[in-house]
Structure 1
Amino acid sequence: MATQSEHQQRDQGEFVRARNRFAARITADGADGWPVQPQRYRLVVSLACPWASRAVIVRRLLGLEDAISLAVADPIQDERSWRFTLDPGGVDPVLGIAYLAEAYATADPTYTGGISVPAIVDVPTGQLVTNDYPQITLDMITEWRAHHRPGAPDLYPEHLRAEIDAVNAEVFADVNNGVYRAGFATTQHAYSRAYTRLFQRLDALAQRLESQRYLIGETITEADVRLFTTLVRFDAVYHGHFKCNRSKLTEMPVLWAYARDLYQTPGFFDTVSFDHIKRHYYQVHTGINPTGIVPEGPDLSGWDEPHGRERLGGRPFGDGTPPDSP
């Protein structure tokens, strides 16, 4: 996730997400030159960013905290993008840098594109390895398996991968990226098209989830993680800030119960910061909200209310166990 200007192109008023420039993979066999090695890499995130939050959740669920360290950037960016002003002295204590852009420059001094999170940085060299957010979590699941905690869930079961991939593609196009296509549209037609596709997909997902607890199978998978990070931001920012205002999440009973079910699951609620979410979107996207005023609402207390979805069966972690409390 980058600033509005950094991470978009224009096509007849439509928002087009830029491709990830750094797509090396960290794998068990080190085929790309980056072998899995505990404590070698640092995951840089913003708790405001839905794409980064996927990685934070997956890291927690799999118990990779000791294997991959975590850096949390300030939700408010300046002209150099993500910065480490939450740390003492404004410098990341492991990487020794003030801006994530420095790791990008170490990887490629000629790079002039957007600075996005999540990003994985090689600690010994200080260079960016990857900002390929869809692949980062899949590799955490498949390539880092030897370092998963005992009882870690299988978030990407082999027999369900084709279905997970298909659902993820639809959710990305119409929901995860769909809210951005609505929010950053510069013509009425582009906005209306994104708005329509978003709510058609949400209605279809609600119908799917009416009779099953999780998107695919009987347990939480990568697909649930990807949908959750958009739903948890929906009322706080997307409904008003991005004009996705046909319905609030709290007005869509099935999706609201589903989102609360996930939120109340260990590994999810402890990765969410509504403060970071709201301040980032409303203060950084000055093209949409030039005053920078952060709204007081909505009331977010309902996330802890009972959801009742246990009646649908399913086991959040399958044969595994929940992660320990942070």
Structure 2
Amino acid sequence: MVENNHSTDSTGEFKRSRSRFDDRILDDPGARWPVEPGRYRLVVSLACPWASRMLVVRRLLGLEEAISLGVADPIQDEKSWRFTLDPGDVDPVLGIRYLAEAYQLAEPGYEGGVSVPAIVDVPSGRLVTNDYLQMTLDLSTEWTAHHRPGAPDLYPEPLRDEIDEVVEAVFRDVNNGVYRAGFATTQERYDAAYRDVFSRLDWLEERLTGSRYLVGDTITEADIRLFTTLVRFDAVYHGHFKCNRNKLTEMPALWAYARDLYQTPGFTDTVDFDHIKRHYYQVHTDINPTRIVPCGPDLSGWTTPHGREALGGRPFGDGTPPGPDPTAASR
């Protein structure tokens, strides 16, 4: 996650840092980092909403075998993301104990934050990029030769301007807005962030009341970016980040929309509520010094009928749903 790449200014406002490592993997044999199946490893935390975007896009596009996956422990230590979920506490492909080791190979002496998602070059072991704003778009546009048959177009050219506009608003007020509320250190900054979050959620509630998806009639990048915040909202943001005007379950259109996506193939198996709750409540000791993880909320509602089919829309457009993850058994 990227909250260890942030600061709070003198007014108490949360400031998210830009990605330090923003190289791109391009569909160009002459590029510094060319598209090459099997060469790169995606490192994520299942707790992290920014990493979860990559997981959903990778699944929907069928890139599991082209880009391998490393999953970090949801609980960080002083060296940040660690591979304690793997035998011997070592990533089996990269051969490292901490993601920070890949950062050091990219920039010896680096002392900044270590964030996920991160893509690492397997042959050299060095970090390629942690640019979470660009990475999903590149999976959609640069890796097309390796998409599965029937992969959806998550960033269709005719809709890109509208997608970009919606994504920017959602990032500012919702994706990052909950962090601005949660990490604010003055009442004034918290109040402002709180207003932004719920003003935007009200806007989204109205937009989604008559439309199954955010832009067009299929799932796009915009839906994926909103979903990864919504799926964490009641579990952590409502209480832990004090975004508590109401729960997601109390906003009819947004709640049905979130369930619709959750139940769509390619989304469900990227969500791990245990990792999500343990990370937020046990790592953010400045917010939750007792490190107690709450038992609630009841999460069984995520699998209940949502009724959004009545709005029409085609989740995958002219494509097809993804099948089971072909690499799941090997992880």
Q: TM-score band (shorter)?
A: over 0.9
> Runs of 5+ in structure 2 lacking a partner?
326-331
Match of 1:321 in 2: 320
- Superposed, 1:55-134 pairs within 5 Å as 55-134=54-133
Deviations 1:18-70 (A, max 9, x none): 11000000000156500000000000000000000000000000000000000
Write the distance in 1 (CA, Å) between the matches of 2:166 and 2:10. 26
Task: Letter of the 2:82 partner, please give it.
Answer: R
Q: How far apart are 1:267 and its partner, in Å?
A: 0.4
Structure 1 pair 21–32 and aligned structure 2 pair: CA distance change class (3 A):
farther
Write the distance in 2 (CA, Å) between the matches of 1:190 and 1:226. 24
- Superposed, 1:156-175 pairs within 5 Å as 156-175=155-174
Could you tell me the percent identity over the aligned residues?
A: 75
SS in 2 for 1:75: coil
Write the distance in 2 (CA, Å) between the matches of 1:30 and 1:10. 43
Task: Letter of the 1:144 partner, please give it.
Answer: W
Cα contact 2:4–2:114 (8 A) shared by 1? no
Deviations 1:60-112 (A, max 9, x none): 00000000000000000000000000000000000000000000000001211
Structure 1 pair 133–31 and aligned structure 2 pair: CA distance change class (3 A):
farther
Q: How far apart are 1:134 and its partner, in Å?
A: 1.0
Are 1:238 and 2:242 matched, yes or no? no
Write the distance in 2 (CA, Å) between the matches of 1:127 and 1:285. 28
Cα contact 1:213–1:314 (8 A) shared by 2? yes
Match of 1:40 in 2: 39
Match of 1:309 in 2: 308
Are 1:184 and 2:167 matched, yes or no? no
Match of 2:328 in 1: none
Write the distance in 1 (CA, Å) between the matches of 2:312 and 2:29. 40
Structure 1 pair 5–51 and aligned structure 2 pair: CA distance change class (3 A):
closer
Write the distance in 1 (CA, Å) between the matches of 2:319 and 2:172. 31
Write the distance in 1 (CA, Å) between the matches of 2:300 and 2:144. 36
Cα contact 1:24–1:32 (8 A) shared by 2? no
Q: How far apart are 1:325 and its partner, in Å?
A: 1.9
Task: Letter of the 1:85 partner, please give it.
Answer: T
CA RMSD of aligned residues (A): 0.9
SS in 2 for 1:256: helix
Match of 1:135 in 2: 134
Alignment TM-score, normalising by the size of structure 2: 0.97
Write the distance in 1 (CA, Å) between the matches of 2:75 and 2:186. 27
Write the distance in 2 (CA, Å) between the matches of 1:214 and 1:94. 37
Match of 1:223 in 2: 222
Match of 1:149 in 2: 148
Q: How far apart are 1:8 and its partner, in Å?
A: 2.8
Structure 1 pair 54–5 and aligned structure 2 pair: CA distance change class (3 A):
closer
Match of 1:294 in 2: 293
Write the distance in 1 (CA, Å) between the matches of 2:30 and 2:198. 41
Deviations 1:305-324 (A, max 9, x none): 00000000000000100000
- Superposed, 1:201-216 pairs within 5 Å as 201-216=200-215
Q: How far apart are 1:9 and its partner, in Å?
A: 3.8
Task: Letter of the 1:149 partner, please give it.
Answer: R
SS in 2 for 1:241: coil
Match of 1:248 in 2: 247
Q: Which runs of 4+ in 1 moved over 4 A?
A: none
SS in 2 for 1:36: coil
Write the distance in 1 (CA, Å) between the matches of 2:64 and 2:157. 24
The number of aligned residues is 325
Q: How far apart are 1:126 and its partner, in Å?
A: 0.1
Write the distance in 2 (CA, Å) between the matches of 1:215 and 1:32. 34
> Runs of 5+ in structure 1 lacking a partner?
none
Write the distance in 2 (CA, Å) between the matches of 1:256 and 1:262. 10
